Structure 1
Amino acid sequence: MRFLLLVKATEGSEAAMLPSDELIAEMMRYNEALVKAGVLVDGGGLLPSATGVRITWDGGGKKVTEGPFDRSGLISGFWLLQVKSREEALEWAMRCPNPSGSGWGEIELRQLAEAEDLTENEELIQQEAALKARLEQQRGS
């Protein structure tokens, strides 16, 4: 099972304030524990929304909007975990240091949908499996 651990944006992350060396060291210890346990697939931080764009569909086409965006709902970082259960993912989430360093902080744990969760069409499920296999092969190269 794959889960995303999403770090919610703060005023500081949106203002491009750098984390303290202490917080980076604490996050590195957490990352090392995830790697040692074999559950970390990927992770990283995101630049402030001022550097991003949003693409929206309005019924008549696509629209591109430059950031910054309202902070509510924004993500400033993530971990992608591969674990055996929701409970294991929650255990790892509970071990996460406060990503803001102190005071207010929030992370969200969400399970990734697999092809079988989205369709019963076996052909589409097999296509998704083939794409994943090609991606793994490319990563190995």
Structure 2
Amino acid sequence: MRKLGLDYGDRRIGVAVSDVFGWTAQGVNTIERRRDGSEMDVIRSLVKEYEISEIVVGLPKNMNGTVGPRGEICIEFADTLREMLNLPVHLWDERLTTVSAERILIEGDVSRKKRKGVVDKMAAALILQNYLDANSTR
């Protein structure tokens, strides 16, 4: 079964999905956050569509390893997902993944306008790929 990677941000949630073997992560979507919480319905639909068995949520930590206010928000989001979907939800250190995603896109000569649309799903793919690599049984 596949794993879902999420980069939870203030305005958008980057989404990535693993292949069925859990070897590679691909960015698939960006979900706009809404005041009505409808992004949870979108996540529920993605879980069903891709037959997700586990979820990985990026946990932004401070450079010294502590969890700040942004991290606390992500922990609450992960807890909500766990309760709503009844699936294992793992928090994964996401320090510098958005910065890495930005750098990759800049090096690829992607315009600023296009970068804005894909940086979140690319960050989600990096978070999920790092998790898959660290937990690989190959």
Larger radius of gyration: 1
User: Do they fold alike, i.e. is TM over 0.5?
Assistant: no
Please give the TM-score of this superposition, normalised by the length of structure 1: 0.28
Answer 1 or 2: higher relative contact order, Cα 8 Å, separation at least 6: 1
Please give the TM-score of this superposition, normalised by the length of structure 2: 0.29
